[in-house]
């Protein structure tokens, strides 16, 4: 009963996130020069304080819900926030001692349609990060405005790290050359899990693989999993990249800079 009560209380969370998405979409300006490209992160006004018991209940409930239905972005988000404090501290430390990462922490930029001119990215030269990111969004039918706001991380600095992780996720997909199918998602989760230590990512890599079809599982075990482990261990920390300042950089050049092994064929 207590678990159902807390999960029902999160309906407002989903509604608020949907309202925020609609407002963001309605208010976006097509003139790039008028976009707020320096928009900074603001801790959510709807932050919800949790007791230890409540945090445990939400962690278990969201884990079960996300396992049963990995498309439940709200449950995946809650799981990440309620179990990720230790990992977020480590991520923040790694960013704070890196020149580019520390600049991200100071500026706290956002990645959404209000801060990124997608039409301009689409007009960039083929092979640049900006053009490939826009192509990836279009090809997979994804919008940068779909990332839910952080609700259950009390420390504003750590809340921003979690928000940055969410908003950079599609860029990480692009840099890794992975699609949004289950095989691609599991591979990305392994890379993210190894680099960030977020339990949500580690769990996604382990349990997501169980949902692969037999042919996908064979390809996963022989090609994708070894590749993801090598990339996670050997590449530079992907959260330290100020992607918005690298739109014009050639993607293959960026991969070489980050020591990312060329992605396997999809």
Pull the structure tokens for residue 137: 């969004």
Q: How confident is the model at residue 45, as a pLDDT?
A: 60
Q: How confident is the model at residue 38, as a pLDDT?
A: 58
Pull the structure tokens for residue 179: 């699609």
Q: Is 108 left (phi over 0), alpha (psi -120 to 50) or beta?
A: left
Rounded CA separation 84/67 (Å)? 17
Rounded CA separation 231/233 (Å)? 5
Q: How confident is the model at residue 58, as a pLDDT?
A: 86
Judge contact between 133 and 170, C-beta under 8 A: yes
Per the domain annotation, does 55 fall within a domain? no
Judge contact between 211 and 235, C-beta under 8 A: no
Domain count, the chain: 1
Per the domain annotation, does 21 fall within a domain? no
- Please give the annotated binding residues for Zn(2+), written as ranges: 169-170, 173, 185
Q: How confident is the model at residue 48, as a pLDDT?
A: 76
Per the domain annotation, does 75 fall within a domain? no
Rounded CA separation 128/126 (Å)? 6
Per the domain annotation, does 12 fall within a domain? no
Per the domain annotation, does 66 fall within a domain? no
Rounded CA separation 156/95 (Å)? 15
Q: In which domain, by residue range, is 114 found? A: 85-257
Q: How far is CA 246 from CA 100, 130, 250, 262, in A?
A: 11, 8, 9, 19
Per the domain annotation, does 240 fall within a domain? yes
Closest CA to 182 of 203, 202, 210, 201: 210
Closest CA to 239 of 167, 186, 182, 181: 167
Say what the pTM is.
Answer: 0.83
Pull the structure tokens for residue 162: 């979690």
Enclosing H/E stretch for 101? helix 99-107
Per the domain annotation, does 69 fall within a domain? no
Query: Consecutive 10-residue runs of the chain (266 residues): their mean pLDDT?
Result: 45 46 40 50 68 86 83 86 95 98 97 96 98 97 93 94 97 97 95 97 92 92 97 98 98 98 89
Query: Please, where are the H alpha helices in 97-150?
Result: 99-107, 118-122, 129-140
Judge contact between 73 and 62, C-beta under 8 A: no
Q: How confident is the model at residue 22, as a pLDDT?
A: 41
Let me know if 157 is exposed, middle or buried by CB neighbors in 10 A (0-12, 13-18, 19+).
middle
- Please give the annotated binding residues, written as ranges: 169-170, 173, 185
Judge contact between 106 and 136, C-beta under 8 A: no
Per the domain annotation, does 56 fall within a domain? no
């Amino acid at each position: 009963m207590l678990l159902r009560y807390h999960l029902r209380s999160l309906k407002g969370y989903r509604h608020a996130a949907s309202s925020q998405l609609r407002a963001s979409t309605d208010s976006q300006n097509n003139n790039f020069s008028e976009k707020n490209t320096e928009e900074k992160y603001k801790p959510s006004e709807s932050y919800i304080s949790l007791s230890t018991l409540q945090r445990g209940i939400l962690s278990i409930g969201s884990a079960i819900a996300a396992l049963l239905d990995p498309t439940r972005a709200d449950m995946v988000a809650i799981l990440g926030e309620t179990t990720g404090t230790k990992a977020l501290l480590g991520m923040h430390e790694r960013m704070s001692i890196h020149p580019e990462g520390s600049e991200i922490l100071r500026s706290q930029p956002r990645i959404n349609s209000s801060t990124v001119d997608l039409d301009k990215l689409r007009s960039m030269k083929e092979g640049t990060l900006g053009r490939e990111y826009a192509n990836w969004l279009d090809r997979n039918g994804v919008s940068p405005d779909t990332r839910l706001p952080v609700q259950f991380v009390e420390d504003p600095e750590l809340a921003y790290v979690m928000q940055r992780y969410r908003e950079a996720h599609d860029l990480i997909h692009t840099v890794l050359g992975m699609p949004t199918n289950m095989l691609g998602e599991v591979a990305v989760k392994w890379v993210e899990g190894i680099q960030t230590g977020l339990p949500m990512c580690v769990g996604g890599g382990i349990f997501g693989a169980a949902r692969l079809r037999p042919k996908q599982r064979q390809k996963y075990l022989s090609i994708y999993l070894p590749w993801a482990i090598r990339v996670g261990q050997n590449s530079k920390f992907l959260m330290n990249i100020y992607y918005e300042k690298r739109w014009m950089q050639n993607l293959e050049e960026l991969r070489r800079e980050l020591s990312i092994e060329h992605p396997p064929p999809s």
